[in-house]
A and B are shown apart, each in its own frame.
Chain A
C-alpha cells in the first residue's frame, strides 16, 4: 500500500451543484448533503482508489461562486489554489457545475482554468437533462473550454467511473487558459504584471494583487511588488469589472453553439411549486403548517418508545440493587450511573424524529425556499438571508451553527447572527422541554386533531426564534459597525429525498447526542451521586438524629427510611451547595434540588434531567426507583404541599431554559469566532438576565 502513487485532487464548485454528493460517490465517505448554500464550511478529505497502484486524495473545498473571496470559507479555496508549496496544493482540480445553472457555474471554471492547473469539468445532474429539454454538444464544449468534460449524476452514480479514469490520466489534460482575457482587458498592463512575476501564471499574479490577503509564500521582494501594484486601486477595480463581463461574454459564446434548452420539451413542476412555496402569504402558511406537523410528530410518535425506555431503565436500577452485593459501588450504579444514562437514552426517539424531518426538508430542496422566503424579513432585523441557515442549523446545535455563519461576508451581520443563534431551540433543550411539558401540560387534543403538548413544544421553538429576532433588532441599533452585502441564493431542483442520506444524517446526529453529551451527563451523574451520597458529620449521624426526633411517634419502616434519606440528602455536600444558592433561585419557584440540576446543566442543558433523576433517586431509599417522570411528578413542595413541578414552576423553568445561555461549549466557540471574550460575556450576561427576569415574572404571575 505504501508504494501507491497519490494524486491530489481538489473538488470545487458553486454551492448546490452536488459537489458533496460527487465527493461521497468518489470516496465512499459519508458527509452531510444539503440543498442550501454554504453548507460545506470546513475542508473535507477522502481517499479514492483509481487503480492498483494509484489512489486519489480528494479535498472537498467549500462552495464558492467565484475565486474572489468575500467570506472566510471562500478564502480557503483561494489559499489552496495559490500556494504551490502547500501540502494541499492539487495535481488536478475537478470543477463541478450543475446542468441547469451551467452559465453561472462556468464563471468559476474559467477562472480556475486560467491558473494553468489541470482541470476536469464535471456536469452534474445529467439525469434531469431530458426532463428539462436540455441538449449538450459535449465534444464542441470540450474544444471551446480546452478541457475534458464528464457528464455525471452523483445521485444515480452515473459518470463516476469515467471521472476516476479521467483523474488517472490528468497529466494529459490541456492547461491552456480560455480566451486570452487579460489581453482583452489591457495588454500593456498585464504584460507589465507578467514581467513583474515571471515565475507565476499571469492569472495567479492578477489574483495576488487583487486580493487583500497576506500570502505567506511570497518573498519579501514579491510582497513589495504586490503592494506597488495594489496602490492603483481604481485601476484594479475597473479591470476586475471588465474581467467578469468578458468571462460571461466568452461563456455565452461557448454555450450558444454547444448548449440549448428546448422549453417545449421541458415537463417540470418546479416553477409552479416555487410560486406556491415562496408566495408572500401561502409560503409562510405552508412553512408554519410543516413546523406544526413536525412537532406533533415528535410528541405523538415518540411517546411509546420513550415510555418503554423509561420503564426499562427504572427496572434496570431496581434489578441492579437486587442482584449485586450491597455496597457503595452498587449504589453508584443503581442510583447514579443507570438513571444518568437513562436520562440520555430516553430522548433518542424524539431526536431521531426531529432530524428525520429536518433532513427530508433539506433533501427535497424545500429548505432553500425557506431561506429565500425569510430573506426579506431577516434584512429588516440586521441579518442577512444567509443568517437563516445558521439559525435553522441552531435547532441541532449552536456550535456548528455559529461556525456556519462564516459564510456571511459582512462582519456586522455575522456578529449579530453569532450572538442570537443560542436563542434558537437546540436539540439539548429538547429533553428538558419534553419532560417539563409532559409534567405540566395535559395530554389532550385540540380541535380533535392537534395535541396540546405538541403545540406547546412548537410555541417554545417559536419563542426561541422570536427572542433571536428581537435581540437582532436591538443589536442592529446598538452596534455601530457599517457595511452591507448582497445576498445570492441558489434554488436547487426539487428532489425525491435520498433515504441513504437521511439515514446517515439521523444516525450521525443521534450518535453525536449520545456520545457527545452522554459522556458529560454520565460523568456529572457520578459526581452528583457522590456529592449527594456523602456529607459532613450531620450526614453521617442521620439515623441517630432521626431516631431521636421520632422517638415518640410510630412510623413504619418505609416511612422511617424515607425520612432518613431525605435528611441525608439535605445534609449532604450537594445539599449544602444547593441551600447556599437557594435564596437566588427561590424567586423563580425552584428549590435547592432544582438549583443543583440548573448549575450542573451549565455544562450541557440536557444534564438537567439526568441530574434531577440522580438527586431524586438518592432521595428515595426504597428499591423500587420508578421512572424519571414518576419521580419528578411525585416530588412535593413541603411549604405548600403542592407538587414541586406544578404549572407556575414548570413554565418558569421552560422560560429559563428558552433564554439562558446554558452551554459552555457555545461560549467557547463564540470566543473563537469573534476572537474576543467581550462577546461571549455579553451573551452570557444578557441572556442570563433575560432568563432570570422572565422566570421570576412567570412564576409570580402564574402562582
Chain B
C-alpha cells in the first residue's frame, strides 16, 4: 500500500513538473503570482 502511494506521489510530481516546463500554457495578466523563479 505504501509503495502504491509513493508511486502515485512520484507520478503527480513528475506530471506537474513536465506540465510546468514542457507544456506551459500561455498566461495572460500578471506573472508575479506564479512566476516560477
A residues adjacent to B (C-beta < 8 A): 42, 325, 327-330, 332, 337, 396-400, 403, 426, 428, 508-509, 511-512, 515-517, 519-520, 522-524, 526-527, 530, 603-605, 663-666, 668-669
Contacts and interface: CB of A to CB of B under 8 A. Distances in A.
Nearest to A664: B21
A325 B2 CA distance: 9
Contacts of B37: 397-399, 426, 428, 517, 604-605, 663-666
Nearest to A663: B37
A413 to B, nearest CB: 22
Contact of A329 (B2, B17, B30): B2
Residue with the highest number of chain B CB atoms closer than 10 Å, among A337, A398, A523 = A523
7 smallest beta-carbon distances between A and B, as pairs? A327-B2, A665-B36, A329-B2, A526-B13, A663-B37, A523-B13, A399-B35
B32 to A, nearest CB: 4
A665 B21 CA distance: 8
Interface in B1-37: 1-3, 5-6, 9-10, 12-14, 16-17, 20-21, 24, 29-37
B21 A516 contact: no
16 contacts: A328-B6, A329-B5, A329-B9, A332-B9, A396-B32, A397-B37, A399-B36, A517-B36, A519-B16, A520-B17, A523-B12, A523-B17, A526-B12, A604-B37, A605-B37, A665-B37
B23 to A, nearest CB: 12
A519 B16 CA distance: 9
Given A400-B32, A511-B33, A526-B10, 16 more contacts: A328-B3, A328-B6, A329-B5, A330-B2, A398-B37, A400-B35, A508-B33, A512-B35, A516-B36, A523-B17, A527-B17, A530-B6, A663-B36, A664-B21, A665-B35, A666-B37
Contacts of A332: 6, 9
Nearest to B30: A42
A426 B31 CA distance: 15
A400 B30 contact: yes
Q: Which of A330, A399, A403 has the most CB of B within 10 A?
A: A399
Q: Tell me the interface secondary structure of chain A in the complex.
A: helix
Nearest to B16: A523
Contact of A515 (B3, B12, B24, B34): B34
Contact of A328 (B2, B34, B35): B2
Residue from the set A426, A509, A520, A605 with the largest chain B CB neighbour count within 10 Å = A520
A399 B13 contact: no
Contacts of A522: 13
B36 to A, nearest CB: 4
A144 B20 CA distance: 56
A527 B31 contact: no
B29 A526 contact: no
A517 B30 CA distance: 16
Nearest to B10: A530
Contacts of B6: 328-329, 332, 530
Nearest to A668: B24
Contacts of B10: 526-527, 530
B32 A397 contact: yes
A43 B15 CA distance: 32
Given A520-B17, A664-B21, A403 B31 contact: yes
A400 B31 contact: yes
Q: Which residue of B12, B14, B34, B37 has the most chain A CB atoms within 10 A of its CB atom?
A: B37
A100 B37 CA distance: 40
Contacts of A664: 21, 36-37
Choose among A428, A516, A604, A668 the residue with the greatest number of B CB atoms under 10 Å from its CB.
A516
Nearest to B34: A516
Contacts of A527: 10, 13-14, 17
Nearest to B15: A523
Which of B3, B5, B9, B34: most chain A CB closer than 10 A?
B9
Contacts of A397: 31-32, 35, 37
A398 B35 CA distance: 9
Contacts of B35: 397, 399-400, 512, 516, 665
Contacts of A665: 35-37
A526 B9 contact: yes
Nearest to B11: A526
B16, B20, B21, B32, most chain A CB atoms within 10 A:
B32
Nearest to A397: B35
Contacts of B21: 603, 664
Contacts of B5: 329
Contacts of A605: 37
A346 B17 CA distance: 23
A396 B36 CA distance: 12
Given A328-B3, A665-B36, A399 B17 contact: no
B16 to A, nearest CB: 5
Max chain A CB contacts within 10 Å: which of B1, B21, B36? B36
Nearest to B21: A664
B37 to A, nearest CB: 4
A496 B23 CA distance: 45
A515 B34 CA distance: 7
